[in-house]
Chains A and B, each alone.
Chain A
Amino acid sequence: MFRIVDKQELAAGVFRYVVQAPEIAKKAQPGQFVILRLNEHGERFPITIADWDSGKGTLTLFVQAIGKTSIEMSQIHVGDSILDLVGPLGLATEIENFGTVVLVGGGFGIAAIHPIARELTRVGNRTISILGARSRDLVLMQDEMKRVSSEVRVATNDGSLGTKGLVTDVLNGMIIKGESIDRVIAIGPLVMMKAVSDLTRPLKIQTRVSLNPIMVDGTGMCGACRVTVASEMKFACVDGPEFDGHLVDFDGLINRLKTYRSEEKKSLDQFSQVLDDECRLGNQ
Chain B
Amino acid sequence: MSAPKGKKIPRQPVPEQSPKARSKSFDEVSYGYTPVMAMLEASRCLQCKKPKCVMGCPVHVAIPEFIKLVAAGEFIAAARKIKETNSLPAVTGRVCPQEDQCEKHCVLGLKNEPVAIGQLERFAADYERREGKIEIPELAPSTGKKIAIIGAGPAGLTTAGDLAKLGHEVVIFEALHKAGGVLFYGIPQFRLPKEIVDAELEYLQKMGVEIKVNYVIGKIKSLDELMADEGFDAVFVSTGSGLPYFLGIPGENLNGVYSANEFLTRVNLMHAWEFPVFDTPLHAHKTIAVIGGGNTALDAARTALRLPSTEKVMIVYRRSPDEMSARDEEIKHGKEEGIEFRYLENPVRILGADGRVTGVECQKMKLGEPDSSGRKKPIPIEGSEFEVETDAVIIALGSGTNPLIAQNTEDLKTDTEGRIKLSDADIQKTSKKGVFAGGDIVTGAATVISAMGAGKKAALGIHDYVMSQ
Contacts and interface: CB of A to CB of B under 8 A. Distances in A.
B20 interface: no
B214 to A, nearest CB: 4
Interface string B188-228: 00000000000000000000000001111001110000000
A266 interface: yes
Interface string A53-68: 0000000000000001
B322 interface: no
Most buried by A among B270, B276, B282, B403: B276
Interface in B280-322: 280-283
B259 A27 contact: no
Interface string B401-413: 0111000000000
Interface string A234-268: 00001000000000010010011011100110110
A86 B278 contact: no
Interface stretch (A156-164, A170-178, A214-222): A214-222
Contact of A43 (B176, B253, B254, B280): B280
A43 B281 CA distance: 9
Given A37-B177, A217-B176, A270-B276, A238 B262 contact: no
Contacts of A141: none
A95 B283 CA distance: 40
Interface in B387-446: 402-404
Contact of B279 (A43, A216, A217): A43
B244 A260 contact: no
Contact of A220 (B271, B279, B282, B402): B402
Interface string A186-227: 000000000000000000000000000000111111111010
Contacts of B220: 23-24, 27, 87-88
Contact of B266 (A84, A216, A219, A267): A216
B404 A226 contact: no
Contacts of A23: 220-221
Nearest to A219: B175
B219 A89 contact: yes
Given A87-B216, A219-B242, A233-B246, A68 B279 contact: yes
B281 A220 contact: no
Nearest to A72: B279
B291 to A, nearest CB: 14
Contact of A219 (B216, B254, B275, B279): B216
A226 B213 contact: no
A220 B275 contact: no
Contacts of A264: 281
Given A87-B216, A217-B175, A255-B355, A260 B283 contact: yes
B255 interface: yes
Given A41-B277, A260-B283, A216 B270 contact: yes
Q: How large is the interface on A (under 10, 10 to 19, 20 to 34, 35 or more residues)?
A: 35 or more
A85 interface: yes
A271 B279 CA distance: 10
A219 B277 CA distance: 25
Contacts of A81: none
A216 B402 contact: no
A24 B281 CA distance: 28
Given A24-B220, A259-B255, A263-B283, A226 B215 contact: no
B253 A86 contact: no
B381 interface: no
B253 A228 contact: yes
Given A24-B220, A85-B214, A88-B220, A223 B259 contact: yes
Nearest to B278: A41
Contacts of B216: 86-87, 89, 218-219
A249 to B, nearest CB: 8
B158 interface: no
Given A44-B270, A86-B177, A88-B219, A224 B404 contact: no
A69 interface: yes
A194 to B, nearest CB: 16
Interface string B248-266: 1000111100110110011
A77 B220 CA distance: 26
B243 interface: yes
Contacts of A226: 246, 252-253
Contacts of B246: 223, 226, 233
A127 to B, nearest CB: 27
Contacts of A89: 216, 219
A84 B214 contact: yes
Nearest to B225: A27
A228 B253 CA distance: 8
A42 interface: yes
B283 A259 contact: yes
B255 A256 contact: yes
A267 B215 contact: no
A228 B213 CA distance: 31
Contacts of B266: 216
Contacts of A263: 275-276, 281-283
Contact of A233 (B177, B252, B262): B252
A217 B242 CA distance: 11
Contacts of B261: 221-223
A256 B402 CA distance: 24
Contacts of A85: 214
A216 B185 CA distance: 12
A195 to B, nearest CB: 21
Interface in A40-54: 41-44
Nearest to A249: B253
B279 A41 contact: yes
B337 to A, nearest CB: 25
B171 to A, nearest CB: 13
A237 to B, nearest CB: 10
Given A217-B175, A220-B242, 18 more contacts: A23-B221, A24-B220, A42-B278, A43-B278, A84-B213, A86-B214, A88-B220, A216-B262, A219-B175, A219-B176, A222-B262, A223-B261, A226-B246, A226-B252, A255-B253, A255-B254, A256-B253, A263-B276
Interface of A: 23-24, 27, 37, 41-44, 68-69, 83-89, 216-224, 226, 228, 233, 238, 249, 252, 255-256, 258-260, 263-264, 266-267, 270-271
What 7 pairs between A and B have smallest CB-CB spacing? A263-B281, A221-B242, A222-B262, A43-B279, A223-B259, A255-B355, A86-B214
10 contacts: A23-B220, A41-B279, A43-B270, A86-B215, A217-B176, A219-B176, A221-B242, A221-B243, A222-B261, A223-B258
